[in-house]
Amino acid sequence: MEVLSSAQIQRFFKTEDPIKQTQHKHPHDPQISIRMAAKSGLFAAAHQTFDEIPISDTFAWNSLIQTHLTNGDSCRVVSTYHQMLVRGVRPDRHTLPRILTACRRLGTLSFGKQVHGQALKLGFSPDHYVITALMEMYGRLDGADMAKWVFDTSPKGNSVSWTLLARLYMMEDKPSLAIDMFNQMVEVGAEMDAMALATAVGACGLLKSLREGRNVHKIATKCGLEFDVLVSNSLLKMYIDCGSIKEARAVFDQMPSKDAISWTEMVRGYVKKGGFNEGLKLFRQMNMDGIKPDLLSISSILPACARVAAHKHGKEIHGYLLRNRIDLNLIVQNAVMDMYVKSGSIESASKIFAGMKEKDVISWTVMILGYSLHGQGELGVALFREMENSDIEMDQFTYAAVLHACCTARMVEEGRFYFNCIRAPKITDCALMVALLARSWTI
The string of pLDDT tens digits covering residues 66-98 is: 999 999 999 999 999 998 898 888 999 999 999
| Range of weakest confidence among 206-220, 232-246, 298-312, 358-372 | 298-312
> Which CATH number goes with the domain that contains 181?
1.25.40
The domain in which residue 288 lies consists of: 274-358
Q: 308 and 236 share a domain?
A: no
pLDDT single digits (tens) 193-237? 999 999 999 999 999 999 999 999 999 999 999 999 999 999 999
Q: Rounded to whole angstroms, what are the CA distances from 7 to 4, 14, 79?
A: 8, 11, 11
Instruction: Classify residue 251: in a domain, yes or no.
Output: yes
Instruction: Classify residue 133: in a domain, yes or no.
Output: no
- Which amino acid is located at 289 in the chain? D
Stated pTM of the model: 0.78
pLDDT single digits (tens) 130-167? 999 999 999 999 999 999 999 999 887 788 999 999 99
pLDDT single digits (tens) 10-60? 333 333 333 333 333 344 454 544 555 455 455 555 555 556 656 667 888
Q: 173 and 252 share a domain?
A: yes
C-alpha 411 chain-centroid distance: 43
Share of the chain above pLDDT 90, in %: 65
Q: 400 and 439 share a domain?
A: yes
Q: How many domains does the chain have?
A: 3
Q: 163 and 253 share a domain?
A: yes
What is the rounded CA–CA span in Å between residue 194 and residue 371? 49
Q: Residue 417, class by beta-carbon neighbours within 10 Å (0-12 exposed, 13-18 middle, 19+ buried)?
A: middle
Q: 320 and 352 share a domain?
A: yes
Q: 331 and 293 share a domain?
A: yes
Q: 172 and 251 share a domain?
A: yes
pLDDT single digits (tens) 109-125? 999 999 999 999 999 98
What is the rounded CA–CA span in Å between residue 382 and residue 260? 41
Domain boundary among 358, 393, 411: 358
* Average pLDDT, rounded, for the chain: 87
Beta strands in 255-342 (DSSP E): none
